[in-house]
Amino acid sequence: MTTATPEEARIQIVNLVREFVRRDVEPVAAELDREDKVPHDLIDKMKGLGLFGITVPEEYGGLGLDYTTFANIFEELSKGFMSITGAIGTHHILTYVLMHYGTEEQKQRFLPDLASGRKRGGLALTEPGGGSDVANLKTTATKDGEEYVINGTKTFITNGRYGDSFCLLARTDEAADPPYRGISCFVIEKGDPGFKVGRDLDKMGYRGLDTCELIFDDFRIPADNLVGGQEGRGFSQVMSGLETGRINIAARAVGVAQAAFEAAIRYSQQRETFGVPISQHQAIQLKLADMATKVQAARLLTYDAAAKKDRGDRVDLESGMAKLFASEVCQEVALEALRIHGGYGYIKDSPVERYYRDAPLMIIGEGTNEIMRLMIAKQLLNLPQYQI
């Protein structure tokens, strides 16, 4: 019996995901978007495909695949219905943080259930008054014997209602200077009355996925749930995890942009004006050429960041560039697809209307693009070759 090579394993899982999207996701995408209904049956099928443990090592029950395959999967899912990626997006930030910073006991306790999808994970990071200003978050975790007591509110939490476990950032040292040194990372689980799910957020796009507020009122967790067993390291732990989050956001953007482009080029060959398909008009050809070129450039940036992550390198610069460029391209291509469709692109029956509403999520998700630009510039200015 021969073992599949990494490339063969990648091709196999990506083909399975592509077929899953074609057979099960695309036929119901419009309905899920319209009704804002969480597709628990599709999520169960994603569990069966192993998509909750794409990069989790096999010893903990995952597929043990690389980040290039990870990006491939997110692109394919997003071509069919971008919201379906939300079930596994921040889930993978939780598994990443555990894999790289958790104690062995924490890995053994949490990863098998997360990798199999028996438990759905998320990231409890954003706060109502904080947004991208993570270093000044207000949620607190106060040590009380063998427990921590959590108080505060998080918002825009994907998997908030149907998730089970979350990677939570909270302040354990109010006097720390700079403030980020007083932030710690915890794995929290539902079940205590002090952990409540607040309102569901009614979103413009990214529908068919639970996005909620989480409220902590004297919520007690075991001290053993402090990631790595040390306080004050949560900010750097989660920022490292967000490198992979930005790769998945960039891959989502590529997937939506590719879907919008394909819809536009098909429509341009079917719609006729002045006796010929509109694809024969130079104005449309110029749009198609620019759209295809920019989508491919975004794809190459995304897979360059994934490949560097696979080599074990730090990729905050590359993942930030990929996320920034791919998300802006996605918004541009979605708008151009809508314009090529004309009035038909503006009605709910057209998938390009959904692509146009979904595209902004990638611009603001995992750090707004304004923050991305600042981060990229800071990284560039610190590179040795640019030192004066």
Interval 104-160: pLDDT, tens: 999 999 999 999 999 999 999 999 987 778 888 999 999 999 999 999 999 999 999
Report whether 90 contacts 245 (CB < 8 A): yes
The pLDDT tens digits of the residues spanning 184-202 come to 999 999 999 999 999 999 9
Report whether 81 contacts 36 (CB < 8 A): no
Choose the weakest-confidence range: 8-12, 88-92, 204-208, 351-355.
8-12
Report residue 374 as tokens: 């600042």
Can you tell me which residue has the tokens 């998700």? 365
Kindly calculate the radius of gyration of the chain based on its CA atoms and give it in whole angstroms. Answer: 21
263-268 average pLDDT score: 97
- The alpha carbon torsion through 200, 244, 83, 70 (nearest 10 deg) reads -150
Is the model's pLDDT at 222 over the cut of 70? Answer: yes
| Distant-in-sequence, close-in-space partners of 191: CB < 8 Å, separation ≥ 6 | none
Label residue 2 by pLDDT band (50, 70, 90). Answer: low
Burial of 323: CB neighbours in 10 Å, binned 0-12, 13-18, 19+: buried
6-35 average pLDDT score: 93
* Partners of residue 214 on adjacent β-strands: 154, 197
162-172 average pLDDT score: 96
The pLDDT tens digits of the residues spanning 54-106 come to 999 999 999 999 999 999 999 999 999 999 999 999 999 999 999 999 999 99
Can you tell me which residue has the tokens 């014997």? 145
CA distance 119 to 113: 5
The reported pLDDT for the residue numbered 135 is 84
307-325 average pLDDT score: 95
Our measurement of the distance from residue 41's CA atom to the centroid of its chain's CA atoms, rounded to an integer in Å, reads: 20
* 211-222 vs 183-189, strand pairing mode: unpaired
* Amino acid letter, residue 120: R
Is the model's pLDDT at 260 over the cut of 50? Answer: yes
From the candidates 231, 243, 366, 370, which is the catalytic residue?
366
Is the model's pLDDT at 4 over the cut of 80? Answer: no
Report whether 333 contacts 326 (CB < 8 A): no
Is the model's pLDDT at 368 over the cut of 90? Answer: yes
233-245 average pLDDT score: 94
Is the model's pLDDT at 25 over the cut of 50? Answer: yes
The reported pLDDT for the residue numbered 54 is 96
User: Which structural domains are found in the chain, ordered by start?
Assistant: 6-90+98-116 (1.10.540.10), 121-233 (2.40.110.10), 236-386 (1.20.140.10)
Report whether 79 contacts 28 (CB < 8 A): no
CA distance 298 to 185: 32
273-293 average pLDDT score: 95
CA distance 362 to 43: 21
The reported pLDDT for the residue numbered 191 is 92
Select from 67, 60, 69 the least CA-distant residue to 4. 69
* Amino acid letter, residue 232: G
Q: What is the 8-class DSSP label of residue 77?
A: H
| Distant-in-sequence, close-in-space partners of 347: CB < 8 Å, separation ≥ 6 | 353
Is the model's pLDDT at 21 over the cut of 50? Answer: yes
The reported pLDDT for the residue numbered 1 is 45
Residue 174 bears catalytic tag = no
Is the model's pLDDT at 212 over the cut of 90? Answer: yes
The pLDDT tens digits of the residues spanning 331-342 come to 999 999 999 999
